[in-house]
């Protein structure tokens, strides 16, 4: 690595080099109209990838020195707990020069993920204790598709490479919600994770209903019995379907 990057890099539990980036868009502001701020945030989100990946590029690099290619981490490997602790640093001093323009203490984290994070156990305990001691509410808004398991879910780093079992925790001190929009998209690439189970026995083709003289549809007794037939969930391997 070039000399100007060596002080910024850190090594994670897997031996990978990484660097955390933070961008302060607005601070200590109270507005009645946040439309201008939303425009600014959208502009920052759009150019985030190029700004971060090209942050250390310089024209005056020595000859023969090359910066290794970098990639953005996934949402699960992001700095979720670190972001909460940054806001807690401000809330811990709420009794000094308190501004009465706003009341309450709340941290809202928006993530493109689904509520699963790979975190350090010690940092998790510290964050939990600070949130409970200061009475700070923590809301997590997920933009990703809601998974089929319970969330939020914290996966602890396994520092022992000889052990293949991972430890998980469901923090009760985080309020989780998933983003939904009322706007109808012109196209959708949604693929359902679970499909309705097929009919057991007989043909899977639907039987044609016969119109009656009174304007009602008549179904055969055999088709009605199959419709009300109970199908046990254990007959279908949903885990294999997800894989």
152 in the same domain as 52: no
Under DSSP, is residue 180 helix (H, G, I), strand (E, B) or coil?
coil
240 in the same domain as 159: no
> Is 233 within a domain?
yes
* pLDDT value at residue 232: 45
Return the half-sphere exposure (C-beta side, CA atoms, 13 A cut-off) of residue 50: 4
201 in the same domain as 177: no
160 in the same domain as 85: yes
53 in the same domain as 81: no
Token representation of residue 179:
């983003």
> Is 177 within a domain?
yes
**Number of domains, the chain:** 3
91 in the same domain as 67: no
> Is 209 within a domain?
yes
83 in the same domain as 165: yes
Within the chain, strands assigned E span 10-11, 17-18, 106-111, 116-119, 137-142, 153-156, 168-169, 175-178, 210-211, 217-218
* pLDDT value at residue 205: 52
182, 206, 232 - which closes a domain: 182
* pLDDT value at residue 221: 52
Q: Is the separation of the CB atoms in 18 and 52 below 8 Å?
A: no
φ, ψ of residue 48 to 5 degrees: the values are -65, -45
> Is 24 within a domain?
yes
182, 204, 221 - which closes a domain: 182
> Is 93 within a domain?
yes
* pLDDT value at residue 65: 75
Determine the Cα–Cα distance for residues 177 and 240; give it in Å rounded to an integer: 28
Token representation of residue 209:
């209903």
**What's the whole-number mean pLDDT along residues 185-190?**
63
53, 72, 91 - which closes a domain: 72
Would you call the peptide bond into 134 cis, given omega within 30 degrees of 0 as the criterion? no
129 in the same domain as 201: no
* pLDDT value at residue 15: 85
> Is 205 within a domain?
yes
Going by pLDDT thresholds of 50, 70 and 90, the confidence category of residue 236 is very low
104 in the same domain as 203: no
Give the range with max mean pLDDT: 61-75, 89-103, 208-222: 61-75
> Is 166 within a domain?
yes
168 in the same domain as 83: yes
More confident residue, 90 or 125: 125
Q: Which domain holds residue 124?
A: 74-182
Would you call the peptide bond into 146 cis, given omega within 30 degrees of 0 as the criterion? no
* pLDDT value at residue 31: 82
65 in the same domain as 80: no
> Is 187 within a domain?
no
Mean predicted lDDT score pLDDT of the chain:
77
Token representation of residue 176:
């989780």
78 in the same domain as 63: no
Going by C-alpha positions, the residue among 5, 13, 21, 10 that lies closest to residue 160 is 13
């Amino acid at each position: 690595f070039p000399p100007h990057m060596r002080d910024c890099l850190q090594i994670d539990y897997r031996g990978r080099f990484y660097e955390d980036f933070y961008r302060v868009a607005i601070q200590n502001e109270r507005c009645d109209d946040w439309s201008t701020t939303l425009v600014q945030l959208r502009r920052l989100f759009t150019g985030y990838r190029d700004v971060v990946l090209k942050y250390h590029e310089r024209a005056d690099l020595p000859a023969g020195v090359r910066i290794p290619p970098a990639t953005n981490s996934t949402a699960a490997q992001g700095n979720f707990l670190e972001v909460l602790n940054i806001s807690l640093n401000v809330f811990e001093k709420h009794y000094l020069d308190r501004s009465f323009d706003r009341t309450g203490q709340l941290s809202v984290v928006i993530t493109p993920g689904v509520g699963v994070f790979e975190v350090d156990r010690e940092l998790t305990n510290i964050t939990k204790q600070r949130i409970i001691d200061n009475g700070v509410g923590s809301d997590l808004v997920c933009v990703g598709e809601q998974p089929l398991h319970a969330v939020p879910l914290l996966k602890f780093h396994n520092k022992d490479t000889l052990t293949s079992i991972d430890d998980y925790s469901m923090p009760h001190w985080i309020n989780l919600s998933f983003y939904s929009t009322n706007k109808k998209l012109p196209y959708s690439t949604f693929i359902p994770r679970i499909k309705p189970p097929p009919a057991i026995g007989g043909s899977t083709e639907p039987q044609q209903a016969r119109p009656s003289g009174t304007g009602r549809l008549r179904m055969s007794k055999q088709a009605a019995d199959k419709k009300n037939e109970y199908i046990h969930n254990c007959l279908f391997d949903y885990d294999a379907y997800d894989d």
